[in-house]
Structure 1
């Protein structure tokens, strides 16, 4: 699997708090909100994460075990 350290930090944060917003995620991993939006789209396209139950009241589902992603 081709995951950067940035990807891994995003996945870790999503596992810790599946209801986190992209805005809060950006603060947590110290990236811009735009970078987080771009990265979450890419991670969804690659099948690593998905969004369940919509944008406002949804949650993130991590589809991989990040201990295997190293």
Structure 2
């Protein structure tokens, strides 16, 4: 694995697993979607919101100490 490859701090899924959200404490995020044919606009938005709530809670759970020793 390359040293410059992005490493998320959280990796979560929506309740129906159609949304995967990865994020880090610096604010970078990646959202992957699957099985879009199962969703309406509203149901997909609900799944994205659910995953985002879990990711945000995980990121806020405890302070992060970076490798250089600074806290976020």
Same fold, TM-score > 0.5, yes or no: no
Tell me which protein shows more helix as a share of its residues.
1
Q: Which has the larger radius of gyration?
A: 2
Which structure is higher in RCO with an 8 Å CA cutoff and minimum separation 6?
1
Tell me which protein shows more strand as a share of its residues.
2
TM-score (norm 1): 0.31
